[in-house]
Amino acid sequence: MPHPVTKAEILTALESNAQSIAQYFGGIPDHRFFDGDPDHWSPAHHLAHLTESSVSITRALRRGARPLDATARSRTYAEVRDAAAAAVAATPKARLLEMGRTVVIAPGTSREQVIGAFERASAEFRAVATAWNEDAMDREALRHPLLGEMTVREMLYFFVVHERHHLRLVQKREESS
């Protein structure tokens, strides 16, 4: 799939991600789906993290007052992907681990509940992103905890990258099981 550029292409990529993630995670047996903890994530932890991330950015996109980006120019998808990889590589493992400990799966939660929550949060995120016009996506900024200030378009690119990253992590884990 080529790198997304326009809002329509970004939304298509996010929709494709959501379908792939829900399908893949839905096929993981329960005993492996929940095998983990906040220090060693299970597939359920990865999916809960993606859900929390979608909810967070949805709130930020709905908020009325956002700062203007200093350049009003967005980086490309590849530049955002590379910046994300560099930021994660440069962040001390202890900080990444501490950030990850906020993901907790409540006892008694079913796989269907975790997947359903992701699907709903992802759909709402895409619906809110749909309301943005191309120019505003490059003018307004949001703050990422590791990457700093990003345009809305860059944040949407980041989400495409972020979801694919977590899907690949879980696929790799499942292949080695």
Of 148, 41, 160, give the one whose Cα is nearest residue 102: 41
- For 174, the token pair is 């499942």
**CATH number of the domain bearing residue 11:** 1.20.120.450
Report if residue 2 sits inside a domain. no
The proportion of the chain whose per-residue pLDDT surpasses 90, expressed as a percent, equals: 83
Report if residue 86 sits inside a domain. yes
Tens of pLDDT, residue by residue over 80-101, are 999 999 999 999 988 887 887 8
8, containing H or E segment: helix 7-26
Distance CA 168, CA 26 (A): 15
pTM above 0.75, yes or no: yes
Structural domain harbouring 106 = 7-175
Report if residue 1 sits inside a domain. no
- For 11, the token pair is 């939304």
Distance CA 153, CA 6 (A): 9
Domain count, the chain: 1
Report if residue 77 sits inside a domain. yes
Tens of pLDDT, residue by residue over 20-30, are 999 999 999 99
Report if residue 136 sits inside a domain. yes
Distance CA 158, CA 150 (A): 9
